[in-house]
Amino acid sequence: MYIIVSPRLGTPGDKFEPADGINVQALIDGGLISTDKPKKSSKVKEEPVEE
């Protein structure tokens, strides 16, 4: 999922859905959009129980 940073692409903060043929990496490199990486789960693995 990509988020608009530059007003030249739309409203900053809105989700950006690239059309076919759009060079997404160039937009990221230029700081025009950002990637919204999914947050990692806060789940902590339990230690294995030794018998």
Partner 1 sequence: MPTSVYLSNPSVTINSVDLSDQCTAATITYSVEALENTAFGSTARTYTGGLANNSVTVTLYQSYAGSETEVSIYSLVGTTTTLVLKPASGAVSSTNPSYTLATAYLESHTPINASLGELSTIDLTFTGGTLTKATS
DSSP 8-state code for residue 18: P
In what order do the strands lie in the sheet containing 15-16? Answer: 15-16, 2-4, 33-35
Number of shown-chain residues binding partner 1 (CB under 8 A): 19
Q: For partner 1, what does the binding mask look like between residues 5 and 44, x meaning CB under 8 A?
A: xxxxx------x-xxxxxx-xxx-xxxx------------
Closest separation in Å from C-beta 43 to partner 1:
37
21/38 with CB nearer partner 1 = 21
Helical ranges in the chain per DSSP H:
24-29
